[in-house]
C-alpha cells in the first residue's frame, strides 16, 4: 500500500502520543510509523523497559525518522503530561470510574476543538501486557475505547495508535472526507451524448433485426436506456461505446462488401 | 488493549476480504486477527505464495481460529470473486482509470447498504510489494483509498485491513437510513456474469477486428471493463447486453450465410 510522495509536505502536529512503560522497541517503532502515516509527530515515552534510543524501534519505524528523532523520555507519567491541558486515556476494559467514555472519532473531534483554542492535548496508551493502572487513568479527562467484537478483542498498542491516528487525520482534514487521490478529472456525459448513443445503438439493432416482435421495441429500448442512464457514464466512455457499436457494424458492412464483390 | 470476553457472542459476517497473492503467512495471520477484532470473518486467498494452510498464519492470528478455519483458497481472482456482486479494490496509488474513489467510511456505508439488500460484497487487497494490477482493479466497481500523510504513506496490508474493518464495525453499529420506497427487487449481477459478458464482448470485437493496433487490446478492454464494472449492473441487464451483442453478431452471420448461398 506504499504511496509515499516525498515531494509533498510532511504533515506533523496533533496531540502527543504517550506510551506508558512500553516493553518492546519493535512496538515503539510500529507506533511511530502509524503516527507518521496519519500526520502525528509527537511521541513521549514513560520509562521504556529497554531504554532509549532503540535501534529496533528505528528500523521498524520504516523511515519515520522525524517521529523517532523527536521522542522525549520521562521518568514518571506526571512529568510526561505536565504541560498538557487535555488528556485522554485509552483502555479496552470497563473501569469503575466516573469518567466520560468516548469512541475514537468523538475523541479526536474533542481534541481538535481544544487544540484549535491553543490547548495542548495528549493520549495515553498502556503497557503491552496489562494496559494502564487506574491511578494513571485518573489523570485523564476522559476515556477512549474502541468499538470491537466483544468476543474477540486483541488490539495491540501499535494497532490502537493506528486507529486513533487515522481518526485524527480524518477529523482534521476538510469535511467531507477526502481520499488521498481522486479519480481522473473527466467530463460527465451530457444527456445529448446519451441520446446520440441510444440512437446509434437503436439503428444498429434495427439493422440486426433485434426488435422482435416489433411491438417489443419500446420495451426493449427502455431496458437498454436504463442500463446506460444509471451507469453514470463519462463523455469519454460514450465515445468508447460508440466505437464498439461502430466496430460491430463495420464487420457486417465489410462482410456485405465482400459479398457484393463476389456477386459482381 | 486486550478486552476479550468469551461469554459475549462472536460477531461474524460482513464483506469478504480477498488477498491477492499474499506472500507471508504472518501477514495473513495479522489480517485474520484484524478482521476478527471488528467482526469480519470471511477471508479468501488467491494463490498464496507459501501455500495453505500456514502454521505461521495461525500462530500470528492469535486465536482468530474461526477466520483461519474458514479461509478459502483460489487459483484465479476470477474464481475468488465469482459469486460477489459488489467489489471494491484498495490501492494507495492513483490509477488512470475511470472508477469512483471512496474513502473507507463511505466505502463501508456503500457495502452495508448493499448487504442489507442481500448482495454479496468483497474488498480486494494487493500483494505486499506492489499491490493490485490494473486488470485486477478493473474487476472492481469502485476504488477505496486511505487518507494518509502524503509525504509518509507506508500502510501494510494488515494495517489496511484493520482500518477497513474498524470502519465496518462503526458503520454497522449505526442504523441504516431507510428511504420511503425502494427500487424493485432485482438480482445483482455476480462477478461471474460480468466476466462472461467481457468474454463475449471481447470475442465479438475480435471477430470485428476492433483491436487495432493489436498491442492496444489490453488498454481497450480495460476501458470497456471499467464502463461496465462501475455501472452496477443487475443480472437481467447483463442478459439484455448479451442479447444486444449476440444480435449484432448474428447480423454478421446472417450476412455471411446469404453470401455463402450466393457464392454456391
Domain A16-173, CATH: 3.40.1280.10
Helix (H) or strand (E) holding A135: helix A134-137
Residues of B within 8 A of A8 (CB-CB) are 150-151
Name the residue of chain B whose CA is nearest to A241's CA: B224
For residue range A115-174, list pLDDT tens digits in order.
Answer: 888 888 999 999 988 899 988 888 888 889 988 888 887 789 999 999 999 999 999 885
**ipTM over cut 0.85:** no
Cα four-point dihedral sign B4, B10, B13, B14: negative
Of A62, A177, A256, the CB nearest to B255: A256
Whether B224 sits inside 8 A of A244 (CB atoms) is yes
Residues in chain B: 264
Of A92, A154, A184, the CB nearest to B33: A154
Closest CA to B157 of B256, B60, B259, B254: B60
Cα four-point dihedral sign A79, A85, A91, A96: positive
Residue A179: predicted pLDDT: 59
Q: Region A220-246: what's the mean pLDDT?
A: 86
Residue corresponding to grid cell 462503526: B170
Of B5, B62, B101, the CB nearest to A182: B101
- What is the Cα gyration radius of chain A? 30
Beta bridge partners of A18: A44, A124
Residues B124 and A250: their CA atoms lie apart, in Å, by: 38
Say what angle helices A191-207 and A235-263 make with each other, to 10 degrees. Answer: 20
B89's grid cell: 479494490
Residue B177: predicted pLDDT: 42
Residues in chain A: 264
The CB density around residue B264, as the number of other CB atoms within 10 Å, is 5
For A3-8, the CB contacts below 8 A with 24+ separation are A3/A180, A3/B92, A3/B93, A3/B148, A3/B153, A4/B150, A4/B151, A4/B152, A4/B153, A4/B154, A5/B150, A5/B151, A5/B153, A6/B151, A7/B151, A8/B150, A8/B151
Cα four-point dihedral sign A78, A79, A85, A87: negative
How close B171 comes to chain A (CA, Å)? Answer: 11
Q: Region A5-23: what's the mean pLDDT?
A: 86
**Alpha helices (runs of H) in chain B, residue ranges in sequence order:** 25-37, 55-60, 65-69, 77-81, 104-116, 134-137, 157-173, 191-207, 217-229, 235-263
Helix (H) or strand (E) holding A247: helix A235-263
Confidence band, pLDDT 50/70/90 cuts, at residue A259: low
Peptide bond into B20 cis (omega under 30): no
Residues A101 and A79: their CA atoms lie apart, in Å, by: 25
Residue B176: predicted pLDDT: 46
Residues B27 and B48: their CA atoms lie apart, in Å, by: 11
Residue A225: predicted pLDDT: 83
Residues of B within 8 A of A151 (CB-CB) are 4-11
The CB density around residue B37, as the number of other CB atoms within 10 Å, is 28
Residues B191 and B204: their CA atoms lie apart, in Å, by: 20
Say what angle helices B157-173 and B25-37 make with each other, to 10 degrees. Answer: 10
Residues B41 and A152: their CA atoms lie apart, in Å, by: 11
Helix (H) or strand (E) holding A241: helix A235-263
Residues of B within 8 A of A210 (CB-CB) are 243-244, 247-248
Residues A23 and B222: their CA atoms lie apart, in Å, by: 50
A216's grid cell: 417489443
Residue corresponding to grid cell 454497522: B172
| Predicted confidence (pLDDT) at residue A113 exceeds the cutoff of 60 | yes
Who's near B84: CB < 8 A, 6+ residues apart? Answer: B16, B120, B121, B122, B190, B191
The CB density around residue B189, as the number of other CB atoms within 10 Å, is 25
Residues B160 and B139: their CA atoms lie apart, in Å, by: 20
Residue B262: predicted pLDDT: 59
CB A253 within 8 A of CB B209: no
Confidence band, pLDDT 50/70/90 cuts, at residue A175: very low
Cα four-point dihedral sign B72, B78, B81, B83: negative
User: For chain A, what are the domain ranges?
Assistant: 16-173, 191-263
Residues of A within 8 A of B153 (CB-CB) are 1-5, 37, 180
Q: Percent of chain A having pLDDT more than 70?
A: 86
Residue B182: predicted pLDDT: 47
Residue B80: predicted pLDDT: 96
Whether B153 sits inside 8 A of A181 (CB atoms) is no
Residue A176: predicted pLDDT: 45
Residue A238: predicted pLDDT: 92
Greater pLDDT, A263 or B88: B88
Residues of B within 8 A of A231 (CB-CB) are 227-228, 230-232
Count residue pairs from A and B with Cβ separation < 8 A.
283
Residues B34 and A257: their CA atoms lie apart, in Å, by: 63
For residue range A32-76, list pLDDT tens digits in order.
Answer: 999 999 999 999 999 999 999 999 999 999 889 999 999 999 999
DSSP A183: P
Bridge-based pairing state of the strands A101-102 and A142-144? parallel
Question: Would you call B254 exposed, middle or buried from its count of C-beta atoms within 10 A (0-12, 13-18, 19+)?
Answer: middle
- What is the Cα gyration radius of chain B? 21
Could you tell me the CA-to-CA distances from B9 to A80, B67, B68 in Å, in that order? Answer: 39, 15, 18
Say what angle helices B191-207 and B217-229 make with each other, to 10 degrees. Answer: 140
How close A255 comes to chain B (CA, Å)? Answer: 7
Q: Region A80-84: what's the mean pLDDT?
A: 89
Mean pLDDT by 10 residues, chain B (264 residues): 64 93 96 95 97 96 94 96 92 79 93 89 94 91 89 88 95 60 68 92 92 91 87 87 90 64 56
Amino acid at each position: 500500500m506504499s504511496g509515499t510522495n516525498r515531494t509533498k509536505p510532511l504533515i506533523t502536529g496533533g496531540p502527543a502520543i504517550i506510551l506508558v512503560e512500553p516493553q518492546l522497541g519493535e512496538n515503539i517503532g510500529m507506533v511511530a510509523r502509524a503516527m507518521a502515516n496519519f500526520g502525528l509527530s509527537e511521541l513521549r515515552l514513560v520509562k521504556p523497559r529497554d531504554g532509549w534510543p532503540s535501534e529496533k524501534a528505528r528500523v521498524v519505524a520504516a523511515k519515520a525518522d522525524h517521529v523517532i528523532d523527536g521522542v522525549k523520555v520521562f521518568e514518571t507519567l506526571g512529568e510526561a503530561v505536565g504541560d498538557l491541558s487535555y488528556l485522554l486515556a485509552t483502555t479496552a476494559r470497563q473501569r469503575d470510574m466516573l469518567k466520560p467514555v468516548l469512541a475514537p472519532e468523538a475523541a479526536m473531534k474533542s481534541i481538535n476543538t481544544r487544540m484549535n483554542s491553543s490547548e495542548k492535548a495528549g493520549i495515553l496508551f498502556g503497557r503491552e501486557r496489562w494496559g494502564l493502572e487506574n491511578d494513571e487513568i485518573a489523570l485523564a479527562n476522559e476515556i477512549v475505547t474502541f468499538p470491537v467484537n466483544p468476543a474477540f478483542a486483541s488490539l495491540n498498542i501499535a494497532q490502537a495508535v493506528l486507529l486513533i491516528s487515522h481518526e485524527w487525520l480524518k477529523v482534521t482534514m476538510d469535511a467531507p472526507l477526502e481520499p488521498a487521490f481522486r479519480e481522473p478529472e473527466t467530463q460527465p456525459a451530457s444527456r445529448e451524448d446519451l441520446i446520440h448513443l441510444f440512437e446509434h445503438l437503436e439503428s444498429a439493432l434495427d439493422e440486426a433485426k433485434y426488435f422482435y416482435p416489433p411491438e417489443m421495441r419500446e420495451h426493449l429500448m427502455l431496458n437498454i436506456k436504463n442500463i446506460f442512464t444509471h451507469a453514470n457514464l463519462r463523455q469519454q466512455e460514450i465515445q468508447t461505446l460508440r466505437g464498439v457499436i461502430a466496430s460491430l457494424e463495420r464487420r457486417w458492412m465489410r462482410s456485405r462488401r465482400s459479398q457484393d464483390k463476389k456477386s459482381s
